[in-house]
């Protein structure tokens, strides 16, 4: 049976992705020392209020009920998410360390 793809979830996810890019880019520009526009704080707060819940809501709508046990799901999550995250963190740490740039944005007193 041929199913027709719904367009509105893709549009909603595209809207959320646009806000992610906008907010991260705007944050970088402001952290670089440029003047913050008066409207920026409102856009920032509004965007972070709905963009992540929007992703979870839309993704959950199309998620199938898992037939795996809870232990099997955690093992799958570990292999698919946690392992690559840890591996990338180690690689990134060594690349930063080897570059000689040891910037830490947090001030320890």
pLDDT (0 to 100) of residue 103: 62
- Contact between residue 60 and residue 13 where contact means Cβ atoms under 8 Å apart: no
Confidence label for 24 from pLDDT (cuts 50, 70 and 90): confident
Dihedral sign (CA 48, 91, 103, 28): negative
State pTM to two decimals: 0.50
């Amino acid at each position: 049976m041929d199913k027709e793809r719904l367009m509105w979830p893709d549009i909603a996810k595209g809207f959320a992705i646009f806000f992610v890019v906008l907010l991260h880019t705007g944050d970088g520009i402001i952290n670089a020392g440029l003047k913050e526009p008066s409207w920026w704080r409102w856009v920032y707060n509004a965007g972070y209020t709905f963009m992540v819940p929007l992703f979870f809501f839309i993704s959950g709508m199309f998620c199938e009920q898992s037939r795996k046990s809870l232990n099997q799901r955690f093992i799958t999550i570990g292999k698919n998410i946690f392992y690559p995250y840890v591996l990338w963190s180690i690689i990134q740490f060594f690349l930063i360390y080897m570059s000689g740039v040891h910037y830490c944005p947090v001030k320890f007193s």
